[in-house]
Structure 1
Amino acid sequence: MTALHTGPRTEDTPSPPPAPARRSRTAWLGSDRFLAIATPALILVLWEVLARAGVIDTRFFPAPTAIVGRAVEMLGSGELLEHTWISVRRLLIAVVIGGVPALLLGLAMGLSRKLRAALDPIIAATYPVPKSAIFPLFLLVFGLGEASKIAVVAVGVFYPIAVNTVAGVREIAPIYHDVGTNFGARRWQVFRTIALPGALPLILTGFNLAFGMALMLLVVAEMLGAKSGLGFLIWNSWQTFQVENMYVGLVVISLLGFLFALLVKLAERLLVPWRGTDERADPRERR
């Protein structure tokens, strides 16, 4: 016996899921990567429009297209590549000279209470001194050659790496040191297998800060006592009122800072794989 229906029969028809292409497009538009690209692009477009409309004075704020055109000309002549390579070479030498001793000293201070007690006051007293203020002293000691510029940048690199390395070692849980002691680990083994890996996150943070400090000090040093490099390019462009050349130098410095930050992040992914990134740390940020 079949059941009688008193009304028209209706069936629940679920709505079709959104197409994969639409979902991926929506996710891309709401992603951090899209925002990181869209925001600078919007600023550049607005800058270009205001410059072409005559709202801003192009003598001081030339249009982005004019800056790009001048950069292409300087690349073709080799001038920009020469200044950039000279600055990068000075920067890398200074980072090695100032960073390696800072890393080793920071690890030693983190492990040794007596060494930390002896050197902490000296670092705390000299850290706030502006490194650009002591550049005239380096000029007196090392002269106008490469040594003075590399020395002031190396000193600026030393402090953030040393301070962050000490903090990184001291944040290691004491149980790891106890385990090493119980298994008879020697001081070098503790140094290599406990202190260095445990402090790596803060060490890389120190290198990230050091690269930014190094770029700032290098530009100041090249402005005051050099005949080549990006700092000299900016200073010479200002003296001759070549504003577009000056902006080209500023843009290259910004790109170098961005590149060094990316390299530090890549090193962090390779050397500290156990450390969660911001995206993994808080899932709510993905929404």
Structure 2
Amino acid sequence: MDDQQIKESAEKIERAEWNKRQRKAKLQQLLTISSPMLVLVLWEIVTRTGIMDARFFPPPTKILFTLFDMGLHGDLFTDLRVSLVRILLGFLLGVIPAIAIGLLMGMYSPVRYTISPLVMAFMPIPTIAMLPIILFIFGIGEFSKYITIAISVFFPVVINTAAGVTNIDNIYVDVAKNYGANAKDFFFKIALPGSLPVMLEGIQMGQAIALLTIVAAEMIGANSGIGYVIWMNYKAFLVPQMYVGLVLISFFGYLFSLVLRGLQNKLIPWK
């Protein structure tokens, strides 16, 4: 076999592998789209046929029409904007200090041994259980809701960030020391990029917890927001309107997850 035949054979194998990857990607996309659509179609069928009580589980089409009606004739978008602002500001208030503290815990063992017991002690306490104390300290205004979300986000991010630093391969640390890297260089060039894969998983977890927390907080101590919409419509037994709030929370949770996954692909493409 001459060089030309070897080259053609290699190109044929490469094309076959590329086509195989493309078929696999298309199958994954199809499954991703078809599974929720199948659930919605089954939901529609079982409620329309009376198998499932439509009073408690209204069909998806009715929820969709209710969403449009609430958007056109109600304060739905105002409540949605209020919740999104609370989530964003609370998320930033929790993530930024969590990253800084997590990096310090991973870099310096005295910091880790000092802060870890506090993190382990407070982390099991549900954030909603701490809401009365938060209200005592920060009042019933918007800032208390930001703090509630920040606390719920803080723990998964700080733990994952610290774990990400401690799991960095020692060879990178040794190389940095041999080249005389100072604390600033180690912080920004070794600890921060090295911990990104695990840190971003913590941030991904944090955004999901932020959504859960804001809904619970708005049900208990707010007069606006998506959680408030869900709770008030539940109390009035306006079930389709209640499901609209649930659908919006689900939608934005999925959207935030996609955004963070995209950010992860940009920051750590090797993963």
Same-fold call, TM cutoff 0.5: yes
1:231 aligns with 2:227: yes
Bigger proportion of residues as helix: 2
**Cα drift, residue 202 of structure 1:** 0.7
Structure 1 gaps of 5+ residues are 1-22, 276-287
Matched, 1:175 2:175: no
Residues 4-43 of structure 1: pairs in structure 2 closer than 5 A: 27=23, 31-43=27-39
The counterpart of 2:191, out of the listed 178, 182, 195, is 195
In the alignment, does 2:118 pair up with 1:122? Answer: yes
| Equivalent position of 2:48 in the other structure | 52
User: C-alpha displacement at 1:27, in angstroms?
Assistant: 3.7
1 CA distance for matches of 2:67 and 2:118? 45
Q: Between the two proteins, what is the percent identity of the paired residues? A: 41
What is aligned with 2:152? 156
Q: 2:253 corresponds to which residue?
A: 257
What runs of 5+ residues in structure 2 fail to find an aligned partner?
A: 1-18
Aligned length in residues: 252
- Counterpart residue type for residue 225 of structure 2: G
What secondary structure, in the 3-state scheme, does the structure 2 residue paired with 1:31 have? helix
Letter in 2 for 1:108: L
Cα distance, 1:139 vs structure 2: 1.5
2:211 corresponds to which residue? 215
SS in 1 for 2:246: helix
Deviations 1:234-283 (A, max 9, x none): 001011111001000000000111011101110111100121xxxxxxxx
Instruction: Measure the CA separation in 2 of the matches of 1:237 and 1:270.
Output: 41
Helix, strand or coil for the counterpart of 1:62?
A: coil
The CA deviation at 1:79 is 2.1
For residue 59 of structure 2, the aligned residue among 49, 54, 63 is 63
- Answer yes or no: is the 8 Å Cα contact 1:28–1:34 preserved in 2: no
Question: 1:88 Cα deviation (Å)?
Answer: 0.7
Aligned to 2:133, which of 134, 137, 145? 137
Tell me which residue corresponds to 2:264.
268
Aligned Cα RMSD in Å? 1.7
- Structure 1 letter corresponding to 2:243: Y
**Using the alignment, how far apart are the partners of 1:139 and 1:120 within structure 2?**
26
Asked if residue 74 in structure 1 is aligned to residue 92 in structure 2, the reply is no
**Letter matched to residue 242 of structure 2:** M
Letter of the 2:209 counterpart: M
Residue 183 of structure 1 aligns to which amino acid in structure 2? Y
Q: Distance in 2 between matches of 1:29 and 1:95?
A: 33
Other structure's SS at 1:185 match: coil
- In the alignment, what sits opposite 1:206? 202
User: Which amino acid in 1 is paired with 2:38?
Assistant: L
Cα shift readout 1:154-178 (whole Å, capped 9, x = no counterpart): 0001000000000000010111111
Flag the structure with larger Rg: 1
2:237 counterpart of 1:241: yes
Letter in 1 for 2:211: L
Deviation at 1:29, TM superposition (A): 10
In 2, Cα distance between equivalents of 1:84 and 1:266? 24
Tell me how far apart the structure 1 counterparts of residues 74 and 29 of structure 2 sit (CA, whole Å).
33
Q: Distance in 2 between matches of 1:78 and 1:253?
A: 18
